[in-house]
Amino acid sequence: MGLFRRVSDIISANLNDMMERYEDPEKMLRQAVREMEEAIAVARKETAQAMASGKLVAKGLADHERQDRDWQERAEKAVRAGDDGLARKALARKQEYDKMVAALRDEATAAEEAGRLLRRQLEAMEAKLAEAKRRLGTYVARQKAAQVRARYRLAAGTARLDQGAFEKFDRLREKVERAEAEAEALRELNGDGAAGAGAESDTGGAGPSVDAELAALKKKLGGPS
């Protein structure tokens, strides 16, 4: 009874509902697959035993039917020979075989039905096992894909944080560089004004670099220096 109850549970199991009720669906599915495989191994053995018993019953039935026909032929032969005593003995044996044949036919029918039922249940269990394995493979693949997506989202979030840090640094650097540039510009403005005035008063508008360049040009052209 335990096996048939377990077979019924497996065949009627709703894998979707089972997955929703458990916190770890993958673990549950793997356990279900193991239990199905164990139950199927037992069911296959019992199915084979039932089929073997059916074959033996069928073989015994065929043998008794052959014996029954043989005694029927003997009785007919005795009647044709006018030997009523031998005919009675043959018919008596035939009646014995008639009873055994009837019993064996009932047994053979029951064994055949039991074998058919067990085979159908075994096929249903194997189909349910195949479904569970497909679900397990699909779930594992989905779980791995979800983990990859989670890692990608984490990496993307970290990249955004890092990018934000770089952008903040760039803004600070730009402020510092602008402040430095403004300070340098102010220094140039203040220094150039004083230097320009002094140069004009000392050279009359032309610095020593201009005199040197003029002398070099006269020498190149061959004019008086």
Count of domains observed in the chain? 1
CATH code (residue 143): 1.10.287
C-alpha–C-alpha distance, residues 142 and 130, integer Å: 18
Residue 141 domain flag:
yes
Residue 200 domain flag:
no
Residue 32 domain flag:
yes
Residue 21 domain flag:
yes
pLDDT value of residue 93: 94
Range of the domain at 57: 2-151
**Please, are residues 43 and 125 in contact by the beta-carbon 8 Å criterion?**
yes
pLDDT value of residue 137: 83
Residue 105 domain flag:
yes
For the chain, the three-class secondary structure string (H helix, E strand, C coil) is CHHHHHHHHHHHCCHHHHHHHCCCHHHHHHHHHHHHHHHHHHHHHHHHHHHHHHHHHHHHHHHHHHHHHHHHHHHHHHHHCCCHHHHHHHHHHHHHHHHHHHHHHHHHHHHHHHHHHHHHHHHHHHHHHHHHHHHHHHHHHHHHHHHHHHHHHHHHHHHHHHHHHHHHHHHHHHHHHHHHHHHHHHHHHHHHHHHHHHHHHHHCCCCHHHHHHHHHHHHHHCCCC
**Please, are residues 7 and 125 in contact by the beta-carbon 8 Å criterion?**
yes
Angle formed at CA 104 by CA 118 and CA 124, multiple of 5 degrees = 5
C-alpha–C-alpha distance, residues 23 and 34, integer Å: 19
Give me the average pLDDT of each 10-residue run along the chain (225 residues): 55 61 72 86 90 93 96 93 92 95 95 90 88 82 74 63 65 79 80 51 55 75 65
Residue 168 domain flag:
no
Residue 156 domain flag:
no
Residue 43 domain flag:
yes
Token pair of 175 as six digits: 């402020």
